[in-house]
């Protein structure tokens, strides 16, 4: 006894690729769709520019880089710069009480 032949299925409709964004929200002025990313693959450079506040960022690219990657790098670089600035400019805690006088080392040696 032989097996039954399976009916051949026709391939379903191809999935539509959702295009990735190329315009983004600015980190500094918070305007929607004001940041554009230009990829120059031939030169290997990407430029990110905000049309409103003229904030700029430049990065290296390869054949796999997309505009969202450059925007993510910009966010990371801005966060790193902010952290470095906070560390370098750490405020000294002030209080209304005077600092206690250091204990005298000589009083221990006399006993």
72 C-beta neighbours (distance < 10 Å), count: 12
Digitized pLDDT (tens) for each residue of the chain, 111 residues in all: 666 666 677 777 888 888 888 899 999 999 999 999 999 999 999 999 999 999 999 999 999 999 999 999 999 999 999 999 888 876 666 666 666 666 665 655 554
- Measured distance CA(111)–CA(85) in Å, rounded: 50
- Measured distance CA(101)–CA(18) in Å, rounded: 68
0.85 exceeded by pTM: no
Domains of the chain by start residue, with CATH? 23-89 (2.20.25.190)
């Amino acid at each position: 006894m032989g097996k039954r032949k399976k009916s051949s299925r026709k391939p379903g409709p191809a999935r539509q690729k959702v295009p990735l964004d190329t315009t983004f929200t600015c980190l500094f002025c918070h305007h929607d769709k004001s940041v554009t990313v230009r990829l120059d693959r031939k030169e290997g450079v990407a430029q990110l520019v905000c049309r409103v506040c003229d904030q700029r960022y430049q990065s290296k690219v390869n054949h796999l880089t997309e505009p969202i990657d450059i925007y993510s790098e910009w966010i990371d670089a801005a966060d790193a710069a902010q952290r470095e600035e906070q560390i370098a400019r750490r405020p000294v805690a002030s209080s209304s009480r005077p600092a206690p006088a250091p204990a005298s080392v000589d009083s221990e040696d006399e006993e």
